[in-house]
C-alpha cells in the first residue's frame, strides 16, 4: 500500500480523499516512530504536500461558501437597498475615472 502511495501525486486527490490519506500517512509516521524506526523521507514529504494541498482546497471551499452566502444575503435586500448599493458603486467608479 505505501509503495503505491509513494508514487502517487497527492495533489490529484479531492479534499475528502486528501484528508483521509493525510490521516493514514500521519498514522504511518507515528507507527514507524513508535516502533523505533525512522519513517522514510518520502513519507514526510508527502505529508507536507498533503497539508498544503488540503489548505488550498479548504480555502477554495470557504470562498465558495462565502460567495453563496453573499448571494443569499443579496437576495434578501429590498429594492431600495439594492438601488442604494448600485448608486454607491456608480459613485465609486466615477470617482476612480475622475468623472
pLDDT 10s digits, 12-43: 999 999 999 999 999 999 999 999 999 999 99
Nearest to 2 by CA among 38, 28, 26, 31: 28
Surface-to-core class of residue 29, CB atoms within 10 Å of its CB (0-12 exposed, 13-18 middle, 19+ buried)? middle
Contacts of 38 (CB under 8 A, 6+ apart): 32
Query: What integer pLDDT is reported at residue 47 of this predicted model?
Result: 96
Query: What integer pLDDT is reported at residue 51 of this predicted model?
Result: 97
Residue pLDDT, tens place only, 36-95: 999 999 999 999 999 999 999 999 999 999 999 999 999 999 999 999 999 999 999 999
Amino acid at each position: 500500500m505505501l509503495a503505491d502511495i509513494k508514487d502517487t501525486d497527492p495533489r490529484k486527490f479531492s479534499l475528502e480523499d486528501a484528508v483521509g490519506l493525510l490521516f493514514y500517512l500521519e498514522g504511518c509516521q507515528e507507527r514507524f516512530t513508535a516502533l523505533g524506526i525512522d519513517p522514510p523521507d518520502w513519507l514526510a514529504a508527502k505529508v507536507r504536500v498533503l497539508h498544503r494541498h488540503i489548505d488550498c482546497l479548504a480555502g477554495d471551499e470557504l470562498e465558495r461558501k462565502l460567495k453563496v452566502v453573499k448571494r443569499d444575503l443579496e437576495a434578501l435586500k429590498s429594492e431600495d437597498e439594492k438601488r442604494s448599493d448600485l448608486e454607491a458603486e456608480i459613485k465609486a467608479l466615477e470617482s476612480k475615472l475622475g468623472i
